[in-house]
Structure 1
Amino acid sequence: MDHLLYIEAVIECRISPELKEKIGNLSFQSYRPNKKNILVIGPVPGQKYSEIVFPILSPDPSTKKDIHFLKYPIYVGGNRGRGQIYPDGGKSNNTVYNATSAGIVSKIVRKEKGGYEITVVDALDGHQSVDVIPRGPELLVSEGESIKLDQPLTSNPNVGGFGQGDAEIVLQDPLRIQGLLLFFTFTNHNY
């Protein structure tokens, strides 16, 4: 019989500086408040993240009576290039960006940390709108170009793929380990 291990994402204040460095800027959160053992990570570009490190908080059997000291399987699956929207609803840089208004591209400003600000002037009323493009997508429009509403401003970098893996976590009772060490200590002194 398989047992379900209720792992949880570790809150940021409990992550060591060394682990923060390994995690990088990954976005991860629980799938649902009542499904804390299912984590959503990313989206991530596949070329950069062939391996992902994320922290988990193991359950405490002394506080959760349905948890026991056992071996628990963990299954992980991930889509590469399919995450056009972050778990919080914001667009990622792994999607096509479309014009939010029609008009003439009057100005394209390359931002210092990458990405662009594209100013579009409506030919009818002169209203200006600015589309912000994050670092990553390739720009398809140029200054002076006439664009339509919802016209792609960037290429679509979305490439697909799926990966999966499984592992096991052993939830050990610290008293068993301490007992084993004590046993080794006493048996070692008899020789």
Structure 2
Amino acid sequence: MQNRNPFCWVKKQMARSIYVSVSIMIYVLSQVSISNAYPIFAQKGYENPRETTGRIVCANCHLANKPVEIEVPQAVLPDTVFEAIVRIPYDMQLKQVLSNGKKGGLNVGAVLILPEGFELAPTDRISPELKEKIGNLSFQSYHPNKKNIIVIGPVPGQKYREIVFPILSLTLLRRKTFTS
């Protein structure tokens, strides 16, 4: 007859459960949350999308630097609507895991930081030609107090490798009364 120590068994079970708990906790904490993976979701975690070092919120989820092309007019008149075109070149062969577990095309998103005073153009000021270029994209300000920062995404990367932002240029403030 074998003599078993009940405390030894309990001790092993506790050690095993602690090991499993710590392993699960490390796994959960080391995973990138889907909610932080796109610019639109970064709004919840960061009041300002640009750190003092110049790094933007996208760098917290993406490990590599990806070049983008931005096309804007050289000069614009005050209080006019113009387009800023952002091209996102990436390898179309790259895939991501979709919500159903299958592989699919990549989604893209963008945070466009404009100079102070510039903002997303109101829909009633956007020309029909520009509306056609924009399509069904939904833009929004990054924060109610930061109208010069525009966010879009996630959107399908294959369809939107080029995103057209409708921008309203700086509106000159007018005083009602002038003093001599």
Query: What TM-score do the two structures reach when normalised by structure 1?
Result: 0.30
Higher-helix-fraction structure: 2
Query: What TM-score do the two structures reach when normalised by structure 2?
Result: 0.32
Higher normalized contact order (CA 8 Å, seq sep 6+, divided by chain length): 2
